[in-house]
Amino acid sequence: MLSPEKNRQLTQVGPGTPMGELLRRYWFPIGGASELENKPTKAVRFLGEDLVLYKDKSGTYGLIDRQCPHRRADLSYGFVEEQGLRCNYHGWLMGEDGRCLAIPYDDLAEPKSRLRDEVKVRAYPVRELAGLLFTYMGPLPAPPLPVYEPFTWANGFREVILTEVACNWFQCQENSCDPVHFEWMHDNWSARLSGDSTSAPRHLKLAFDEFEHGFLYRRVREGQPDGSPFWTVGRVTLWPIGFYLGQHFEWRVPVDDENTLNICWFFARVPPEREPYVQVRVPTWKSPLLDDKGEWIASHVVNQDVLAWVGQGRIADRSKEFLSASDKGIVLMRRRYFEEMDKVAKGLDPKGVIRDEEAAKLIQLPLGDKAQFLKGVPLADWPKDRLLAKRMRGQPWCAGQPDDVWREYANACGLDESMRTAP
């Protein structure tokens, strides 16, 4: 258990807080690039800061203060120009670097005014990568944006899924280093929901290791040999706010102290017989947590996780918990966050920050079943694979996949729409 003060250090993310300053040393995703296709502006909130994300007519992305520096109007209702975002109240034009580019009245009536040169708002760089938009909200110079190997894989269908979670980010991230919950929350609970009373294979052995880009948890379950990838390779808790499972990344992006945006990036390799495949557009969609009756959608893996997270309250009270032997990874991870917050306070780069431009261009992560993502699996063999069989039936890890996204995926893989069993 943790003291209330230690719990606050882990959970508060605003400017000037120890965790907030640590998380601002990293690039993190803030959404999908396709979100700005129909409406080029979007009001957002990250790390307790209210901002506006936009894409101007030249294709440049910006993330700046949501309030116009003139009279504090809401810039999310502004309109984009060839360069920058113009306020719809009095026409002030702001650039992606936060500088004021135009003050229409002053520029005409007071041409000698230097007000423009004095005006600057908060602004953070935005980069597009693999259909995702990333930002860096920390001190300059910013480190290079890390390119994880899956972002470079070819012949795959990618999609970005957003889930709004009503709790603090850290209880979401702790889930990433908790292998035993798979046995109960995903296997046993899913079986009970389907009327199956059999029990899932139990966990017999756990191990937790740390590496440059996060932590590994390794496990052995009943009927699983020690030589399986689950034990020899393990799975990745991606530092500082992510999780990696081969077919997908998840990031638990702090909105503020009591809200989180869970961002999933999925990669589905098309069958070899459908190659070459080039995806023109990476769709972004929002996954619902409740059905039309207001009941929790508990049939999907991510929804099951979110239910556990929000069930702990807006901010989990860790002074009342009793940790057990299965929580060694969580203890290891918490200790590292405290150590890295201390590093930042001393002016040092924390864990996982890459300053080498070349090293950042391709970062490999441990993955035991990489072959299926590099070579693909013939469509005839998909029914034999647990995950691919679900995907071909239209059963992604997140609820609510739109029909048009399913059809695009089906066309890419050569699936017949009649195969789809889950709306």
Q: What is the CATH number of the domain that holds 50?
A: 2.102.10.10
Residue 422 has a pLDDT of: 59
- Asked if residue 240 and residue 118 are part of one domain, the reply reads no
The reported pTM is 0.96
- Asked if residue 196 and residue 86 are part of one domain, the reply reads no
Residue 27 has a pLDDT of: 98
Establish if 9 belongs to a structural domain: no
Residue 363 has a pLDDT of: 97
What CATH code is carried by the domain that includes residue 403? 3.90.380
Residue 423 has a pLDDT of: 53
- Asked if residue 179 and residue 90 are part of one domain, the reply reads no
- Asked if residue 267 and residue 226 are part of one domain, the reply reads yes
Establish if 374 belongs to a structural domain: yes
- In the chain, % helix, strand, coil (3-state, to 5) comes to 30, 25, 45
Domain that holds residue 176: 149-419
Establish if 4 belongs to a structural domain: no
Q: Angle 328-345/4-11 helices, nearest 10 degrees?
A: 70
Mean pLDDT per 10-residue section of the chain, whose length is 423 residues: 95 98 98 97 98 98 98 98 98 98 93 92 98 98 97 96 98 96 92 91 96 96 88 93 93 98 96 96 97 94 96 97 96 98 98 97 90 89 87 87 94 87 63
* 313 contact partners, CB below 8 Å, separation of at least 6: 167
Residue 415 has a pLDDT of: 92
Which of 58, 89, 124 is the C-terminal boundary of a domain? 124
Residue 396 has a pLDDT of: 86
Question: Measured between alpha carbons, how far is 48 from 31 in angstroms, rounded to an integer?
Answer: 16
* 388 contact partners, CB below 8 Å, separation of at least 6: 377, 381, 382
The number of residues making up the chain comes to 423
- Asked if residue 224 and residue 94 are part of one domain, the reply reads no
- The two structure tokens encoding residue 41: 């502006």
